[in-house]
Amino acid sequence: MELDSIEKLLEKYFEATTTVAEEETLRAYFSQEGVATHLKQYAPMFKYFSNAKEERFTKQVPLKPRNNYYKWISVAAVAVLTFGIYFGKSYQEQREAKYAYNQTKKALTLLAENFGRGTEKVAYLNEFEETKRKVYNKN
């Protein structure tokens, strides 16, 4: 009966649905000598977790920087980044505006050239109309 419940707990463990108490039961089972032969492959994993739980980090972590230079360097870096982002954005906007102006200028120049050609054709039509009136008025 115990082996059946261990297998069910192991299945729940791999599905990540076990409680802390159930995991403790599994650790206790796999730390003893009488582990079933088909479950012995899981024993090193649970022993590792038990040992890892006992490990502690003992090295002292310095909380203050060694020099005040780091603080001032970081402040300067933030200032440079802020100015770079601000002026870079305005420069980019000016560049985009200049590009849009030049494209509009090209389009309007092209339109003016085509309009000029169109007015030349209308001038010929006006001459044709005048000539036609003279011809029809004489007859």
Is the distance from CB of 39 to CB of 6 less than 8 angstroms? yes
Residue-wise pLDDT for 13-65, tens only, equals 888 888 888 888 888 888 888 888 888 888 888 888 777 777 787 888 777 76
As a whole-number percent, the residues of the chain with pLDDT over 90 amount to: 7
Scan for tokens 């090193």, then name that residue: 44
The domain ranges of the chain are 2-54, 67-139
Asked if pLDDT for residue 1 goes beyond 50, the answer is no
Please name the amino acid found at residue 8.
Answer: K
Average pLDDT, the chain: 81
Q: Is 118 a residue whose pLDDT tops 90?
A: no
Confidence of residue 106 (pLDDT cuts 50, 70, 90): very high
Going by C-alpha positions, the residue among 52, 14, 17, 45 that lies closest to residue 29 is 45
With beta carbons less than 8 A apart as the criterion, state whether 70 and 78 touch: no
